[in-house]
Structure 1
């Protein structure tokens, strides 16, 4: 036979817990005075800088790769920059290559009617509202007023959330460095144009002027003029104008972007969804509601299965 004190303790604990859960739910339903809605943190186009890449002008010389490596003091590549076998496989930026050029065979014909490949330079897109900045929990990733997405290694804890959040899969990690590894990505050569009044290294050395540096608003105007002036030469789309809320790095192309491995992305900024969800969870305290509800249901079901014998009933069910 189970003693009375034990039964009383079990009943009191359950009752107290249920009251606590009810109180938690009631308090969670109180709407806060200042519910925060998502707001864009992007600098205005009139102040932010960027680059426009005209893919139809790129010849795959990889001078941009070399200039980028030199200015960022990266280790020399295993293959020389004039080694064309590097184009045999599609590459992504990594800890030792901040920008890379890939080759695509799209069936494009050159001015002489011969098949000609397309070459595409890829690097950080410097999103107007960057997902990596939204995901960074320490403030190591920030969006500069210049338009560049800035990385501060002194604040980085190596969580790599930025790598997961980036829709373009750009940030790379120095896995080969056991001590003080960093996240590596294009900086837009921010110091060059903010301190030295010079364009990014890749734009400076491009022999065909495939890369144009300037204010984002000016670059959009330039891109639209090229599309209007040569409608048969270009696909009527500026990649980066609206993708994920817009990017500082823009592209125009003579072939469909899907043929050169560009992702089809929504126009809404990715942080708008994630931050709105976070604000909903924490501002309106839905998390405690769900927690208390789940615990209450579990406890209720368990209490029905684990019924304690009455204090005046014997173990065989008879009266004492």
Structure 2
């Protein structure tokens, strides 16, 4: 038997009132959320005054990859092979077990180092230790943290749940997931913070023979980077090696390259603690163009707008309640009509 469900004008009026109430509640939530976002929206965080980092000068890099090997040893990371013979540790990119890599730019005849048209150049890839890191903002369990004094972006495997939000959030593609880990684990550079108590610093800077990778306070590194950009190409200058902010003097005299007049990381993404100099355009050597504002500040502002004043919960709950009420109401009408027919 076909049962026709009918609705009365009173029913329609009731639904309209209910839907109107949901809209009004959402509107009130929007207003509350807007006010809340105005209060809670934040600016991009700045580097701590004592922030530690690296200065990588591509014009000094000879591509020896001593930094890659030292990083592996310092972090007890296994070799990764990209060739059939598997004789050498040959990672092609950073991974859950390779936190630092030297990549090569190639153009034309590759006859001259640091020549964009017919030359080659090197670029170091590792964690940039952002002033306002997206990985920290995205992590729901604070497995990623930023030290308030050193600014180092650290990872706690005990807190990690393997969600990989940090992997997606990083604009540099640095945090990598160890897919063979039974518990789920992220691998990334932490500036060898586990070696500081032993009197050591970042292994990549310790072993670099030319000072292409230099360790120190980011404020000191910025001063050194600006000094180099002001030098005349082809002239000679003194280049420090190792730890710029302290330790044994390992400086030497060398020739000045023809730098791009830009310090990568000074303003990109709100500033990073790892700074870079290059003779070749930064985008050509693989560094992304980024605005001087972090995505973390933007995303958190959006979240505050959506959830401030319970805007999103109110809107979703209101829509779900309306759908549920509408469906249940129809079923009740049909049951009542069916019962009435049976009684008659």
Q: Deviations over 1:237-280 (max 9, x none)?
A: 00111110011111001111122121111111111110111111
Is 2:287 aligned against 1:276?
A: no
- Provide closer, same or farther for how the CA distance between residues 242 and 27 of structure 1 changes in structure 2, counting only shifts above 3 A: same
Q: What's the offset of the Cα at 1:13? A: 6.4
- With over 3 angstroms needed to count, the CA separation of the structure-2 counterparts of 1:206 and 1:289, relative to structure 1, is same
Q: Any conservation in 2 of the 1:42–1:143 contact (CA below 8 Å)? A: no
The equivalent residue for 1:156 is 160
Is 1:106–1:118's contact at 8 Å kept on the other side of the alignment? no
The answer (yes or no) to whether the contact 1:106–1:255 under 8 Å persists in 2 is no
How far the C-alpha of 1:190 sits from its partner, in A, is 1.5
Task: Return the TM-score normalized by structure 2.
Answer: 0.74
Relative to structure 1, is the Cα distance of residues 255 and 7 closer, same or farther in structure 2, using a 3 angstrom cutoff?
A: same
- Rounded to whole Å, the distance in 1 between the matches of 2:55 and 2:159 is 31
Residue 338 of structure 2 corresponds to none
TM superposition shift of 1:49: 0.6
The residue that corresponds to 2:74 in the other structure is: 71
Q: Contact conserved, 1:106 with 1:259, CA < 8 A, in 2?
A: no
In structure 2, what is the Cα distance between the partners aligned to 1:79 and 1:142?
32
* Displacement of 1:187: 0.8
Counterpart of 2:58 in structure 1 is 55
> In 2, Cα distance between the equivalents of 1:12 and 1:2?
23
5 Å-filtered alignment, 1:1-320, equals: 10=11, 14=15, 17-18=18-19, 20-21=21-22, 24-25=25-26, 27-28=28-29, 31=32, 35-44=39-48, 46-78=49-81, 91-106=92-107, 109-110=112-113, 116-144=119-147, 145-177=149-181, 179-193=182-196, 195-230=197-232, 233-288=258-313, 290-291=315-316
SS at structure 2 position matched to 1:117 = strand
Deviations 1:106-140, CA, capped at 9 Å, x for gaps = 467359xxx65212221111111001111111111
1:13/1:58 Cα in 2 relative to 1: closer, same or farther (>3 Å)? same
SS at match of 2:122: strand
Rounded Cα–Cα distance in structure 1 between residues aligned with 2:128 and 2:31: 41
2:277, 2:214 → 1: CA distance?
12
**Post-superposition CA distance 1:63-119 (Å, at most 9, x none):** 111110011001134379xx8995xxx9320012111111112467359xxx65212
Distance apart, 1:233 and its partner CA: 1.2
Distance 2:5 2:216 in 1: 82
Deviation at 1:28, TM superposition (A): 2.0
Contact 2:79 2:89 in 1 (8 A): no
Deviation string 1:180-224 (CA, Å, 9 cap, x unpaired) is 12011111112323x233220000000111011111111011000
Deviation digits for residues 277-303 of structure 1, max 9, x if unmatched?
11111114432565478679989x99x
Aligned length: 296
Cα contact 1:171–1:184 (8 A) shared by 2: yes
SS of the residue 1:250 aligns to: strand
- The CA distance in 1 between the partners of 2:5 and 2:65, in whole Å, is 84
Contact in 2 for aligned 1:25/1:292 (Cα 8 Å): no
Structure 2 CA distance for partners of 1:84 and 1:209, relative to 1, 3 Å: farther
Relative distance call for 1:118 and 1:17 in structure 2 (3 A) is same
Query: How much is the aligned-residue C-alpha RMSD, in angstroms?
Result: 3.9
8 A Cα contact 2:177 2:185, kept in partner: yes
